[in-house]
Amino acid sequence: MMPDQFLVKGNFHEGNFGDDALLVAVQLLLSKHSNRVVYDCECLAYTHDVASGLMMADQSSLFSSDYIVYGGGTQFFSFKSSATAEVAQPSVASRFLKWILDPSRLVASIKTRCRARKESELKRLAIGIGYGPFGNDLEGKKAAMDLAESMDFTWVRDDASEVFCREAGLDNYVRGADLCFSSEFLNYFRSDSPLILPANYSRPKKLGIIFRDWSHADISTSYATCMRVAQRCRALGWEVDFYVFSKGDKLTLKYLEESGEQPNVWDAATTSITEYSNQLASCDSILTQRFHGAVFAILLNIPYTVITLDPKLEMVGDLLGDDAKLSPQQSQEDYFMCVERTMREASEIKKELEAVLIEQQERSDSAAAALLEYLSAQSHG
């Protein structure tokens, strides 16, 4: 009897540091159950260490797979929007006319329908994902509930998602944490621990600021505030470095270039996760617009403050309390006071971070154990 095959879906082709770390975590976790793990994307941006030699899905992979896995990081929720225009949906007649004029459309549509039918026959797993909040968007919430109900096993990473699952009447979920807190990922991460250098306390204090592109709202005010805080910190003799987790963050890179900054940009093709983490490890404090900026601050025991662009950042900020959260609209003084506090109270915050990591690892490992138990039961059922 052949071992189970997993067909994994995720944003692993984009070259985003957080997604690439999740790729490693997914592979480490699923490979404990089977050596047949294939990735449903054109290519993997990250191909170092654990990700070296992983298999890409081909046309037959769907039909030889036993599970579809939605692998880590996805947060389903609704953003507030000022847009009021509705997007017109093409009618059945117009779609049919397009098929007649362009037969390739019809062939592609048939293939898509066949693929969807086959996918519906496979077991579906969602690991390390999040749901909510949805505010007044009842339609979005209903769509997310329909998606959640289609899963055979769900691992959610936060309290709000657990509440969502209860509201949806689900009984096939477990409350875990982000995949990067799993023992599988931590053991991988720590295996190169000699390469992870602690901050050098004989040098000036160093602040790391993690920027990102954001299409859901205007965050130019937050950019400008961070730049003024950087200037203030440098005036005190502190070092400030900027980090960008994706080369696809074109607006961010343009802004930093015009500001005269040379950011540390994640390059999945040339840098390993450990090597990039080593750059982050040189910071005494991290101010981040990225969720996994805070996750890696926890892994590296670095005091952090999140800029709450979305619910994921609210969630990871809550792990340290309100003092670790800033809204994009808050003042320069608020930003600076938060950063200054992380420097001044570093020893106390580091103790809190140690406790946070232990709790998150326990949650993640509990979910991982439940997943492997489920898979074992299915294999022997």
CB 364 within 8 A of CB 179: yes
Looking from the CA of 78 toward its CB, the CA atoms found within 13 Å total 15
CA distance 133 to 116: 28
Q: At what angle do helices 291-299 and 17-30 cross, to 10 degrees?
A: 60
Structure pTM?
Answer: 0.88
Nearest-CA neighbor of 145 among 177, 169, 111, 121?
Answer: 169
Give the residue-averaged pLDDT of 192-197: 58
Torsion of CA 282, 286, 292, 295, to 10 degrees: 80
Taking only the tens place, the pLDDT of each residue in 32-76 is: 999 999 999 889 999 999 999 999 999 888 889 999 998 876 667
pLDDT at 106: 43
d(CA 108, CA 128): 32
pLDDT at 371: 96
How does residue 117 score in pLDDT terms, banded at 50, 70 and 90? Answer: low
Q: In what order do the strands lie in the sheet with 325-326?
A: 264-265, 239-244, 206-211, 285-288, 304-307, 325-326
What tens digit of pLDDT does each residue of 290-332 get? 999 999 999 999 999 999 998 889 999 999 999 999 999 999 9
Residue 118, token pair as written in the block: 């086959």
State what percent of residues in the chain have pLDDT above 90. Answer: 69
